Chain A
Amino acid sequence: MNPDDIRRVVVDILERIAPDEDLTRLKDDVPLREQMELDSMDFLDIVMELRKQYRIQIPEDDYPRLSTMAGTVDYLSPLLKGAQASA
Protein backbone atom coordinates (compact mmCIF):
# COMPACT_ATOMS: atom_id res chain seq x y z
CA MET A 1 0.00 0.00 0.00
CA ASN A 2 1.22 3.51 -0.68
CA PRO A 3 1.10 6.26 1.96
CA ASP A 4 -2.22 7.64 0.63
CA ASP A 5 -3.83 4.23 0.92
CA ILE A 6 -2.49 3.85 4.42
CA ARG A 7 -3.77 7.25 5.39
CA ARG A 8 -7.19 6.24 4.08
CA VAL A 9 -7.07 3.04 6.14
CA VAL A 10 -6.44 5.09 9.25
CA VAL A 11 -9.21 7.58 8.43
CA ASP A 12 -11.62 4.68 7.83
CA ILE A 13 -10.79 3.29 11.23
CA LEU A 14 -11.21 6.70 12.85
CA GLU A 15 -14.60 6.97 11.14
CA ARG A 16 -15.64 3.64 12.59
CA ILE A 17 -14.69 4.46 16.11
CA ALA A 18 -15.71 8.12 16.09
CA PRO A 19 -18.45 8.51 13.49
CA ASP A 20 -19.51 11.87 14.90
CA GLU A 21 -16.16 13.58 14.27
CA ASP A 22 -15.28 15.72 11.28
CA LEU A 23 -12.24 14.03 9.76
CA THR A 24 -12.02 16.02 6.56
CA ARG A 25 -9.49 18.52 7.83
CA LEU A 26 -7.16 16.43 9.93
CA LYS A 27 -3.64 17.83 10.05
CA ASP A 28 -1.01 15.18 9.62
CA ASP A 29 1.56 16.58 12.02
CA VAL A 30 -0.65 17.57 14.93
CA PRO A 31 -1.39 14.83 17.50
CA LEU A 32 -4.74 13.21 16.75
CA ARG A 33 -5.83 13.64 20.37
CA GLU A 34 -5.58 17.40 19.93
CA GLN A 35 -7.78 17.43 16.86
CA MET A 36 -10.56 15.13 17.98
CA GLU A 37 -11.95 13.58 21.13
CA LEU A 38 -9.78 10.50 21.46
CA ASP A 39 -8.91 8.89 24.73
CA SER A 40 -7.00 5.75 25.60
CA MET A 41 -10.07 3.56 24.97
CA ASP A 42 -10.33 4.94 21.44
CA PHE A 43 -6.63 4.49 20.97
CA LEU A 44 -6.88 0.85 21.97
CA ASP A 45 -9.63 0.53 19.39
CA ILE A 46 -7.41 1.92 16.64
CA VAL A 47 -4.80 -0.69 17.46
CA MET A 48 -7.41 -3.45 17.70
CA GLU A 49 -9.06 -2.48 14.40
CA LEU A 50 -5.68 -2.68 12.66
CA ARG A 51 -5.20 -6.11 14.10
CA LYS A 52 -8.69 -7.19 13.09
CA GLN A 53 -8.56 -5.88 9.55
CA TYR A 54 -4.93 -6.36 8.65
CA ARG A 55 -3.68 -8.92 11.13
CA ILE A 56 -0.88 -6.69 12.36
CA GLN A 57 0.21 -6.56 15.99
CA ILE A 58 1.41 -3.34 17.52
CA PRO A 59 3.39 -3.68 20.77
CA GLU A 60 2.36 -1.29 23.55
CA ASP A 61 5.85 0.26 23.55
CA ASP A 62 5.23 1.49 20.00
CA TYR A 63 1.97 3.30 20.80
CA PRO A 64 3.69 6.73 21.14
CA ARG A 65 4.74 6.50 17.49
CA LEU A 66 1.09 6.56 16.49
CA SER A 67 0.35 9.96 17.97
CA THR A 68 0.04 11.88 14.69
CA MET A 69 -1.35 10.84 11.32
CA ALA A 70 2.11 11.22 9.74
CA GLY A 71 3.71 9.09 12.44
CA THR A 72 1.01 6.47 12.09
CA VAL A 73 1.36 6.24 8.31
CA ASP A 74 5.14 5.96 8.65
CA TYR A 75 4.88 3.25 11.27
CA LEU A 76 2.35 1.23 9.32
CA SER A 77 4.14 1.48 5.99
CA PRO A 78 6.43 -1.54 6.39
CA LEU A 79 3.69 -3.53 8.12
CA LEU A 80 1.10 -2.97 5.41
CA LYS A 81 3.49 -3.23 2.48
CA GLY A 82 2.02 -6.40 1.11
CA ALA A 83 -1.57 -5.73 2.10
CA GLN A 84 -4.37 -4.78 -0.25
CA ALA A 85 -6.32 -1.65 0.46
CA SER A 86 -10.03 -2.46 0.94
CA ALA A 87 -12.32 -1.33 -1.83
Chain B
Amino acid sequence: MAYDAVIIGAGMSGLAAGIRLAYYEKSVCILERHTTIGGLNSFYRLRGRNHDVGLHAVTNYAPPGAKTGPLSKVLRQLRLRWDDFGLSPQRFSTVAFPDCTLRFSNGIDELTQQVRQHFPAEIDAFSRLVTHISAFEVASFEKCPLSARAVLADFFHDALLIEMLMCPLLFYGSASPNDMDFSQFAIMFRSIFLEGFARPFEGVRRILKVLVRRFKELGGELRLRSGVRAIESRRGRATAIVLDDGETIETDNIISSAGTLETLRLLGGADDRPAPVEAGNITYTESIYSLDRQPSELGHDATIVFYNDSPKFTYEMPCEPIDLRSGIICSPNNFEYERPPEEGRIRITALANPAHWLNLPPEQYEREKNYWGQRLLESALRVIPDFRHAIVDTDFFTPRTIRKFTGHLNGCVYGAAEKMSNGRTHLENLYLCGNDQGLLGIVGTLMSGISVVNAYLLK
Protein backbone atom coordinates (compact mmCIF):
# COMPACT_ATOMS: atom_id res chain seq x y z
CA MET B 1 0.00 0.00 0.00
CA ALA B 2 1.55 3.26 -1.09
CA TYR B 3 1.45 6.32 1.13
CA ASP B 4 -0.18 9.45 -0.26
CA ALA B 5 3.03 11.23 0.66
CA VAL B 6 6.37 10.53 2.25
CA ILE B 7 8.27 13.45 3.69
CA ILE B 8 12.04 13.40 3.95
CA GLY B 9 13.20 15.21 7.09
CA ALA B 10 11.49 15.87 10.41
CA GLY B 11 12.56 19.48 10.70
CA MET B 12 10.22 22.42 10.83
CA SER B 13 9.19 22.35 7.17
CA GLY B 14 8.74 18.57 7.08
CA LEU B 15 6.64 18.54 10.24
CA ALA B 16 4.45 21.38 9.00
CA ALA B 17 3.93 19.66 5.65
CA GLY B 18 3.08 16.47 7.52
CA ILE B 19 0.51 18.18 9.69
CA ARG B 20 -1.28 19.70 6.71
CA LEU B 21 -1.40 16.37 4.92
CA ALA B 22 -2.48 14.36 7.96
CA TYR B 23 -5.13 16.91 8.87
CA TYR B 24 -6.76 16.40 5.51
CA GLU B 25 -6.62 12.66 5.96
CA LYS B 26 -3.80 11.86 3.59
CA SER B 27 -1.66 8.91 4.59
CA VAL B 28 1.73 10.39 5.36
CA CYS B 29 5.03 9.19 6.74
CA ILE B 30 7.92 11.44 7.79
CA LEU B 31 11.36 9.87 7.57
CA GLU B 32 14.15 11.29 9.70
CA ARG B 33 17.74 10.08 9.53
CA HIS B 34 18.72 11.32 12.97
CA THR B 35 17.63 9.93 16.34
CA THR B 36 15.51 12.99 16.96
CA ILE B 37 13.46 15.66 15.24
CA GLY B 38 14.27 19.25 14.40
CA GLY B 39 16.99 19.13 11.77
CA LEU B 40 18.77 22.49 11.62
CA ASN B 41 16.60 23.62 14.52
CA SER B 42 16.96 20.71 16.87
CA PHE B 43 17.90 20.26 20.51
CA TYR B 44 20.21 18.08 22.54
CA ARG B 45 21.31 17.32 26.05
CA LEU B 46 24.93 17.38 27.17
CA ARG B 47 26.33 16.82 30.65
CA GLY B 48 22.95 17.35 32.19
CA ARG B 49 22.12 20.54 30.27
CA ASN B 50 19.55 21.17 27.57
CA HIS B 51 20.66 23.13 24.52
CA ASP B 52 19.12 24.29 21.29
CA VAL B 53 20.89 23.71 18.01
CA GLY B 54 19.90 26.49 15.63
CA LEU B 55 17.52 28.61 17.61
CA HIS B 56 18.60 32.04 18.73
CA ALA B 57 15.13 33.48 18.47
CA VAL B 58 11.90 32.95 16.67
CA THR B 59 11.39 35.93 14.38
CA ASN B 60 8.03 37.26 13.08
CA TYR B 61 6.85 37.77 16.65
CA ALA B 62 3.22 38.79 16.96
CA PRO B 63 1.41 39.11 20.28
CA PRO B 64 -1.64 36.93 21.05
CA GLY B 65 -4.71 37.97 19.12
CA ALA B 66 -2.81 39.13 16.06
CA LYS B 67 -4.69 38.12 12.95
CA THR B 68 -2.18 39.02 10.30
CA GLY B 69 1.44 38.25 9.66
CA PRO B 70 3.31 35.04 9.03
CA LEU B 71 3.19 33.71 12.61
CA SER B 72 -0.58 34.03 12.81
CA LYS B 73 -0.87 32.48 9.36
CA VAL B 74 1.26 29.50 10.37
CA LEU B 75 -0.71 28.95 13.59
CA ARG B 76 -3.99 29.01 11.69
CA GLN B 77 -2.81 26.65 9.00
CA LEU B 78 -1.54 24.15 11.56
CA ARG B 79 -4.64 24.61 13.74
CA LEU B 80 -2.48 25.68 16.68
CA ARG B 81 -3.13 28.31 19.31
CA TRP B 82 -0.76 31.16 20.07
CA ASP B 83 -0.15 29.65 23.53
CA ASP B 84 1.08 26.41 22.00
CA PHE B 85 4.43 27.92 21.12
CA GLY B 86 4.76 29.66 24.49
CA LEU B 87 6.65 32.62 23.05
CA SER B 88 8.19 35.25 25.30
CA PRO B 89 9.30 38.44 23.54
CA GLN B 90 12.86 39.74 23.53
CA ARG B 91 14.12 42.56 25.74
CA PHE B 92 16.11 44.41 23.10
CA SER B 93 18.88 43.75 20.62
CA THR B 94 21.71 45.81 19.20
CA VAL B 95 23.72 46.20 16.04
CA ALA B 96 27.19 47.12 17.31
CA PHE B 97 29.59 48.67 14.82
CA PRO B 98 32.77 50.50 15.89
CA ASP B 99 31.39 54.06 15.82
CA CYS B 100 27.73 53.39 16.25
CA THR B 101 25.36 51.07 18.07
CA LEU B 102 21.73 50.85 17.06
CA ARG B 103 19.27 49.39 19.49
CA PHE B 104 15.99 47.81 18.48
CA SER B 105 13.16 45.85 20.05
CA ASN B 106 9.91 44.32 18.84
CA GLY B 107 8.07 46.80 16.66
CA ILE B 108 9.69 49.57 14.67
CA ASP B 109 9.46 52.43 17.17
CA GLU B 110 12.73 51.98 19.01
CA LEU B 111 14.76 51.51 15.83
CA THR B 112 13.11 54.60 14.32
CA GLN B 113 14.09 56.61 17.38
CA GLN B 114 17.64 55.32 17.15
CA VAL B 115 17.90 56.23 13.48
CA ARG B 116 16.62 59.71 14.32
CA GLN B 117 19.31 59.99 16.98
CA HIS B 118 22.30 58.51 15.13
CA PHE B 119 21.45 59.24 11.50
CA PRO B 120 19.28 62.36 11.70
CA ALA B 121 19.74 63.22 8.02
CA GLU B 122 18.27 59.85 7.07
CA ILE B 123 15.17 59.74 9.26
CA ASP B 124 12.73 60.72 6.51
CA ALA B 125 14.21 58.19 4.14
CA PHE B 126 14.00 55.58 6.88
CA SER B 127 10.30 56.26 7.43
CA ARG B 128 9.69 56.03 3.70
CA LEU B 129 11.56 52.73 3.57
CA VAL B 130 9.44 51.33 6.40
CA THR B 131 6.27 52.38 4.57
CA HIS B 132 7.55 50.89 1.33
CA ILE B 133 8.42 47.58 2.99
CA SER B 134 5.13 47.38 4.88
CA ALA B 135 3.21 47.74 1.65
CA PHE B 136 5.50 45.60 -0.45
CA GLU B 137 3.80 42.55 -1.93
CA VAL B 138 5.98 39.52 -1.92
CA ALA B 139 4.87 37.22 -4.71
CA SER B 140 5.47 33.83 -3.25
CA PHE B 141 6.43 31.67 -6.18
CA GLU B 142 7.87 34.29 -8.50
CA LYS B 143 11.39 35.36 -9.22
CA CYS B 144 12.03 38.97 -10.15
CA PRO B 145 15.53 39.74 -8.94
CA LEU B 146 16.20 43.14 -7.44
CA SER B 147 19.23 43.87 -5.28
CA ALA B 148 18.41 44.96 -1.75
CA ARG B 149 21.60 47.03 -1.59
CA ALA B 150 20.62 48.83 -4.79
CA VAL B 151 17.21 49.67 -3.33
CA LEU B 152 18.74 50.87 -0.08
CA ALA B 153 21.21 53.04 -1.98
CA ASP B 154 18.17 54.76 -3.56
CA PHE B 155 16.81 55.59 -0.12
CA PHE B 156 19.96 56.40 1.85
CA HIS B 157 23.18 58.36 1.38
CA ASP B 158 24.86 57.07 4.51
CA ALA B 159 26.63 53.80 3.72
CA LEU B 160 27.05 52.95 7.40
CA LEU B 161 23.29 52.91 7.96
CA ILE B 162 22.89 50.56 5.02
CA GLU B 163 25.52 48.21 6.43
CA MET B 164 23.97 48.27 9.89
CA LEU B 165 20.48 47.51 8.58
CA MET B 166 21.76 44.72 6.34
CA CYS B 167 23.82 43.09 9.10
CA PRO B 168 21.09 41.36 11.17
CA LEU B 169 19.08 40.55 8.08
CA LEU B 170 21.99 38.84 6.38
CA PHE B 171 22.90 36.95 9.55
CA TYR B 172 19.29 35.76 10.14
CA GLY B 173 19.55 35.12 7.22
CA SER B 174 20.69 35.14 3.74
CA ALA B 175 21.76 32.19 1.69
CA SER B 176 23.50 34.53 -0.73
CA PRO B 177 26.66 36.42 0.17
CA ASN B 178 26.65 40.17 0.95
CA ASP B 179 23.39 41.04 -0.72
CA MET B 180 19.94 39.58 -1.08
CA ASP B 181 16.94 39.95 -3.31
CA PHE B 182 14.81 42.89 -2.22
CA SER B 183 11.76 40.71 -1.69
CA GLN B 184 13.78 38.57 0.70
CA PHE B 185 15.03 41.79 2.34
CA ALA B 186 11.43 42.91 2.83
CA ILE B 187 10.50 39.57 4.37
CA MET B 188 13.49 39.70 6.73
CA PHE B 189 13.01 43.39 7.57
CA ARG B 190 9.41 42.71 8.52
CA SER B 191 10.25 39.60 10.48
CA ILE B 192 13.07 41.18 12.50
CA PHE B 193 12.48 44.94 12.65
CA LEU B 194 8.71 45.28 12.24
CA GLU B 195 7.68 42.14 14.09
CA GLY B 196 10.61 40.97 16.20
CA PHE B 197 12.12 38.24 18.33
CA ALA B 198 10.71 35.80 20.83
CA ARG B 199 11.60 32.46 22.35
CA PRO B 200 9.83 29.70 24.23
CA PHE B 201 11.18 29.34 27.77
CA GLU B 202 12.01 25.69 27.11
CA GLY B 203 13.63 26.53 23.80
CA VAL B 204 12.92 24.96 20.46
CA ARG B 205 11.84 21.62 21.94
CA ARG B 206 8.60 23.30 23.01
CA ILE B 207 7.73 24.04 19.40
CA LEU B 208 8.92 20.70 18.07
CA LYS B 209 6.99 18.71 20.65
CA VAL B 210 3.79 20.56 19.83
CA LEU B 211 4.29 19.89 16.13
CA VAL B 212 5.07 16.21 16.55
CA ARG B 213 2.16 15.67 18.91
CA ARG B 214 -0.22 17.34 16.47
CA PHE B 215 1.16 15.31 13.59
CA LYS B 216 0.76 12.01 15.40
CA GLU B 217 -2.70 12.87 16.77
CA LEU B 218 -3.81 13.36 13.20
CA GLY B 219 -2.61 9.92 12.23
CA GLY B 220 0.76 10.85 10.77
CA GLU B 221 3.58 8.36 11.01
CA LEU B 222 7.06 9.45 12.12
CA ARG B 223 10.05 7.19 11.66
CA LEU B 224 13.34 8.19 13.25
CA ARG B 225 16.70 6.58 12.51
CA SER B 226 15.34 6.13 9.00
CA GLY B 227 17.79 7.70 6.62
CA VAL B 228 16.94 7.68 2.95
CA ARG B 229 19.44 6.05 0.64
CA ALA B 230 17.65 6.48 -2.67
CA ILE B 231 14.53 7.65 -4.45
CA GLU B 232 13.30 5.30 -7.17
CA SER B 233 11.64 6.74 -10.19
CA ARG B 234 10.17 5.66 -13.47
CA ARG B 235 9.06 7.70 -16.45
CA GLY B 236 9.18 11.08 -14.80
CA ARG B 237 7.60 10.01 -11.53
CA ALA B 238 9.06 9.07 -8.18
CA THR B 239 7.72 5.69 -7.16
CA ALA B 240 9.37 4.66 -3.93
CA ILE B 241 11.93 5.48 -1.30
CA VAL B 242 14.70 3.12 -0.28
CA LEU B 243 15.98 3.46 3.26
CA ASP B 244 19.58 3.00 4.36
CA ASP B 245 18.71 -0.49 5.59
CA GLY B 246 17.25 -1.44 2.21
CA GLU B 247 13.57 -1.24 3.11
CA THR B 248 11.44 0.09 0.26
CA ILE B 249 8.51 2.40 0.89
CA GLU B 250 6.03 3.05 -1.89
CA THR B 251 4.47 6.44 -2.17
CA ASP B 252 2.43 8.60 -4.55
CA ASN B 253 4.30 11.78 -3.64
CA ILE B 254 7.56 12.79 -1.99
CA ILE B 255 8.27 16.07 -0.27
CA SER B 256 11.89 16.51 0.63
CA SER B 257 13.35 19.01 3.07
CA ALA B 258 16.82 17.55 2.67
CA GLY B 259 17.92 20.24 0.24
CA THR B 260 17.86 20.55 -3.55
CA LEU B 261 21.20 18.92 -4.30
CA GLU B 262 20.93 16.49 -1.40
CA THR B 263 17.58 15.33 -2.76
CA LEU B 264 18.68 15.07 -6.37
CA ARG B 265 21.61 12.93 -5.29
CA LEU B 266 19.13 10.41 -3.98
CA LEU B 267 17.87 9.88 -7.50
CA GLY B 268 21.06 8.14 -8.47
CA GLY B 269 23.64 8.54 -11.19
CA ALA B 270 21.46 7.55 -14.11
CA ASP B 271 20.45 11.17 -14.43
CA ASP B 272 22.88 13.23 -16.52
CA ARG B 273 21.03 16.41 -15.80
CA PRO B 274 23.33 19.25 -14.69
CA ALA B 275 22.86 20.41 -11.11
CA PRO B 276 20.25 23.19 -11.02
CA VAL B 277 21.98 25.06 -8.20
CA GLU B 278 25.35 25.33 -6.52
CA ALA B 279 25.76 24.08 -2.98
CA GLY B 280 25.29 26.79 -0.39
CA ASN B 281 28.29 27.68 1.72
CA ILE B 282 26.97 29.99 4.42
CA THR B 283 27.63 28.21 7.66
CA TYR B 284 28.74 28.95 11.18
CA THR B 285 30.57 27.87 14.26
CA GLU B 286 28.89 28.44 17.57
CA SER B 287 30.11 28.41 21.15
CA ILE B 288 27.55 27.73 23.83
CA TYR B 289 28.62 28.87 27.29
CA SER B 290 26.73 27.81 30.38
CA LEU B 291 27.10 30.27 33.22
CA ASP B 292 26.52 30.02 36.96
CA ARG B 293 24.48 33.23 36.96
CA GLN B 294 22.17 35.29 34.78
CA PRO B 295 23.98 37.31 32.08
CA SER B 296 22.17 40.39 33.34
CA GLU B 297 24.01 40.02 36.67
CA LEU B 298 27.18 40.54 34.64
CA GLY B 299 25.79 43.66 33.01
CA HIS B 300 24.64 41.96 29.82
CA ASP B 301 20.97 42.66 29.17
CA ALA B 302 20.72 42.49 25.41
CA THR B 303 18.92 39.59 23.81
CA ILE B 304 20.94 39.49 20.58
CA VAL B 305 24.03 41.51 19.69
CA PHE B 306 25.09 41.64 16.04
CA TYR B 307 28.64 42.96 15.95
CA ASN B 308 31.15 43.94 13.31
CA ASP B 309 34.61 45.42 13.65
CA SER B 310 34.51 47.93 10.78
CA PRO B 311 32.07 50.22 8.95
CA LYS B 312 31.62 47.66 6.21
CA PHE B 313 30.01 44.28 6.93
CA THR B 314 31.27 41.32 4.95
CA TYR B 315 28.85 38.43 4.83
CA GLU B 316 30.27 35.50 2.92
CA MET B 317 32.12 32.28 3.40
CA PRO B 318 35.44 33.32 4.98
CA CYS B 319 38.84 32.11 3.83
CA GLU B 320 39.82 31.74 7.46
CA PRO B 321 38.35 28.93 9.54
CA ILE B 322 36.24 31.53 11.36
CA ASP B 323 35.55 35.14 10.46
CA LEU B 324 36.49 36.93 13.65
CA ARG B 325 35.49 40.36 12.37
CA SER B 326 31.82 39.87 13.04
CA GLY B 327 29.41 37.66 14.91
CA ILE B 328 26.20 37.21 16.82
CA ILE B 329 25.97 37.01 20.59
CA CYS B 330 22.72 35.48 21.76
CA SER B 331 21.66 35.26 25.35
CA PRO B 332 18.63 32.98 25.64
CA ASN B 333 18.08 34.30 29.18
CA ASN B 334 17.32 37.81 28.02
CA PHE B 335 13.71 37.30 26.97
CA GLU B 336 10.67 38.38 28.98
CA TYR B 337 10.01 35.03 30.65
CA GLU B 338 7.74 34.55 33.63
CA ARG B 339 10.66 33.25 35.62
CA PRO B 340 14.40 33.29 34.89
CA PRO B 341 16.06 30.15 33.53
CA GLU B 342 18.13 28.21 36.06
CA GLU B 343 21.47 28.82 34.44
CA GLY B 344 22.94 31.56 32.29
CA ARG B 345 23.67 30.94 28.66
CA ILE B 346 25.66 32.90 26.14
CA ARG B 347 26.03 31.74 22.54
CA ILE B 348 28.59 33.24 20.20
CA THR B 349 28.20 32.55 16.51
CA ALA B 350 30.46 33.44 13.60
CA LEU B 351 30.73 32.68 9.90
CA ALA B 352 32.94 29.69 9.20
CA ASN B 353 34.72 28.04 6.30
CA PRO B 354 33.06 24.67 5.78
CA ALA B 355 35.89 22.91 3.97
CA HIS B 356 38.33 23.66 6.78
CA TRP B 357 36.12 22.13 9.43
CA LEU B 358 34.84 19.21 7.36
CA ASN B 359 38.31 18.05 6.33
CA LEU B 360 40.24 18.15 9.60
CA PRO B 361 41.51 14.80 10.88
CA PRO B 362 39.74 13.88 14.16
CA GLU B 363 42.60 14.62 16.62
CA GLN B 364 43.20 18.00 15.05
CA TYR B 365 39.49 18.80 15.01
CA GLU B 366 39.29 18.91 18.81
CA ARG B 367 42.39 21.12 19.06
CA GLU B 368 41.09 23.50 16.42
CA LYS B 369 37.74 23.81 18.17
CA ASN B 370 39.49 24.86 21.37
CA TYR B 371 41.84 27.24 19.63
CA TRP B 372 39.26 28.98 17.51
CA GLY B 373 36.68 28.95 20.28
CA GLN B 374 39.17 30.92 22.38
CA ARG B 375 39.84 33.42 19.63
CA LEU B 376 36.13 33.86 18.92
CA LEU B 377 35.47 34.53 22.59
CA GLU B 378 38.22 37.13 22.76
CA SER B 379 36.88 38.95 19.74
CA ALA B 380 33.34 38.95 21.13
CA LEU B 381 34.50 40.41 24.43
CA ARG B 382 34.89 43.74 22.61
CA VAL B 383 31.13 44.15 22.75
CA ILE B 384 29.97 42.30 25.85
CA PRO B 385 31.06 42.28 29.51
CA ASP B 386 33.67 39.68 30.41
CA PHE B 387 31.78 36.63 31.60
CA ARG B 388 34.62 34.12 31.59
CA HIS B 389 34.77 33.79 35.37
CA ALA B 390 31.12 32.66 35.36
CA ILE B 391 31.51 29.85 32.82
CA VAL B 392 30.68 26.39 34.13
CA ASP B 393 30.50 24.51 30.84
CA THR B 394 31.24 25.02 27.16
CA ASP B 395 30.16 23.36 23.96
CA PHE B 396 31.24 24.26 20.47
CA PHE B 397 29.81 23.15 17.18
CA THR B 398 31.06 23.64 13.65
CA PRO B 399 29.87 23.09 10.07
CA ARG B 400 31.08 19.52 10.54
CA THR B 401 28.60 19.03 13.39
CA ILE B 402 25.81 20.51 11.32
CA ARG B 403 26.66 18.32 8.34
CA LYS B 404 26.83 15.24 10.51
CA PHE B 405 23.45 15.69 12.13
CA THR B 406 21.43 17.19 9.29
CA GLY B 407 23.04 15.89 6.13
CA HIS B 408 22.98 19.37 4.60
CA LEU B 409 25.93 19.92 2.28
CA ASN B 410 28.74 22.00 3.77
CA GLY B 411 26.76 22.12 7.00
CA CYS B 412 25.05 25.04 5.31
CA VAL B 413 22.28 26.57 7.41
CA TYR B 414 20.39 28.63 4.85
CA GLY B 415 20.45 26.37 1.83
CA ALA B 416 21.67 27.09 -1.69
CA ALA B 417 21.83 30.70 -2.82
CA GLU B 418 19.44 29.96 -5.64
CA LYS B 419 16.08 28.86 -4.40
CA MET B 420 13.62 26.47 -5.99
CA SER B 421 10.81 28.80 -5.11
CA ASN B 422 8.03 26.82 -6.72
CA GLY B 423 9.11 23.70 -4.87
CA ARG B 424 9.12 21.59 -8.04
CA THR B 425 11.70 19.23 -9.45
CA HIS B 426 11.93 17.52 -12.81
CA LEU B 427 9.89 14.65 -11.37
CA GLU B 428 6.25 15.59 -11.30
CA ASN B 429 5.56 14.20 -7.82
CA LEU B 430 8.83 15.07 -6.08
CA TYR B 431 8.64 18.39 -4.25
CA LEU B 432 11.04 20.45 -2.19
CA CYS B 433 10.37 22.37 1.00
CA GLY B 434 12.53 24.03 3.62
CA ASN B 435 15.51 26.33 3.14
CA ASP B 436 16.06 25.44 -0.49
CA GLN B 437 12.47 26.20 -1.40
CA GLY B 438 13.16 29.69 -0.15
CA LEU B 439 11.77 30.61 3.21
CA LEU B 440 14.12 30.68 6.18
CA GLY B 441 13.85 30.63 9.93
CA ILE B 442 11.35 28.77 12.04
CA VAL B 443 8.23 30.60 10.89
CA GLY B 444 9.54 30.72 7.33
CA THR B 445 10.25 27.02 7.06
CA LEU B 446 6.94 26.10 8.71
CA MET B 447 5.30 28.24 6.05
CA SER B 448 7.37 26.54 3.37
CA GLY B 449 6.09 23.07 4.29
CA ILE B 450 2.53 24.40 4.48
CA SER B 451 2.75 26.23 1.15
CA VAL B 452 4.11 23.33 -0.84
CA VAL B 453 1.40 21.00 0.45
CA ASN B 454 -1.32 23.60 -0.18
CA ALA B 455 -0.11 24.28 -3.69
CA TYR B 456 0.24 20.74 -4.92
CA LEU B 457 -1.17 18.07 -2.68
CA LEU B 458 -4.51 19.27 -1.44
CA LYS B 459 -6.40 20.13 -4.58
By a beta-carbon cutoff of 8 Å, the part of chain A in contact with chain B is: 16-21, 36-37, 39, 41-42, 44-45, 48, 51-52, 60
Contact A44 B454 (CB under 8 A): yes
Known A44-B454, A44-B458, A48-B458; judge A21-B25 contact (CB<8 A).
Answer: no
Q: List the A side residues contacting B367 at CB < 8 Å.
A: none
CA–CA, A51 to B25, complex, Å?
11
Size range of the chain B interface in the assembly: 10 to 19
The SS class assigned to the A binding surface is helix
The 7 closest A-B pairs by CB, nearest first: A37-B67, A48-B24, A37-B68, A20-B67, A48-B458, A44-B454, A52-B24
Q: List 20 A-B contacts (CB under 8 A).
A: A16-B79, A17-B76, A17-B79, A20-B65, A20-B66, A20-B67, A20-B72, A21-B67, A36-B67, A39-B73, A41-B73, A41-B77, A42-B76, A44-B458, A45-B76, A48-B458, A51-B24, A52-B24, A52-B25, A60-B459
CA–CA, A44 to B79, complex, Å?
14
Cβ-closest chain A residue relative to B77: A41
The SS class assigned to the B binding surface is loop
Q: List the A side residues contacting B128 at CB < 8 Å.
A: none
* B379 CB to nearest chain A CB (Å): 44
Contact A41 B68 (CB under 8 A): no
Q: List the B side residues contacting A45 at CB < 8 Å.
A: 76-77
By a beta-carbon cutoff of 8 Å, the part of chain B in contact with chain A is: 24-25, 65-68, 72-73, 76-77, 79, 81-82, 450, 454, 458-459
Q: List the A side residues contacting B77 at CB < 8 Å.
A: 41, 45
CA–CA, A44 to B454, complex, Å?
8
Q: List the B side residues contacting A52 at CB < 8 Å.
A: 24-25
CA–CA, A1 to B25, complex, Å?
25
Q: List the A side residues contacting B73 at CB < 8 Å.
A: 39, 41
Q: List the B side residues contacting A60 at CB < 8 Å.
A: 459
Q: List the A side residues contacting B24 at CB < 8 Å.
A: 48, 51-52
Cβ-closest chain B residue relative to A19: B81
Q: List the A side residues contacting B65 at CB < 8 Å.
A: 20
Among A21, A37, A51, find the residue whose CB has the most chain B CB atoms closer than 10 A. Answer: A37
CA–CA, A37 to B82, complex, Å?
16
Contact A41 B454 (CB under 8 A): yes
CA–CA, A36 to B76, complex, Å?
13
* B135 CB to nearest chain A CB (Å): 16
Known: A16-B79, A39-B73. 10 other contacts (CB 8 A): A20-B66, A20-B67, A20-B82, A41-B73, A41-B77, A41-B450, A44-B458, A48-B24, A48-B458, A52-B25
CA–CA, A18 to B82, complex, Å?
12
Cβ-closest chain B residue relative to A45: B77
* B92 CB to nearest chain A CB (Å): 27
* A45 CB to nearest chain B CB (Å): 7
In the complex, which of the residues B66, B67, B450 contacts A18, with contact meaning CB atoms closer than 8 Å? B67
Q: List the B side residues contacting A48 at CB < 8 Å.
A: 24, 458
CA–CA, A41 to B76, complex, Å?
10
* B143 CB to nearest chain A CB (Å): 20
* B34 CB to nearest chain A CB (Å): 30
Cβ-closest chain B residue relative to A49: B24
CA–CA, A16 to B458, complex, Å?
18
CA–CA, A52 to B82, complex, Å?
25
Among A17, A20, A36, find the residue whose CB has the most chain B CB atoms closer than 10 A. Answer: A20
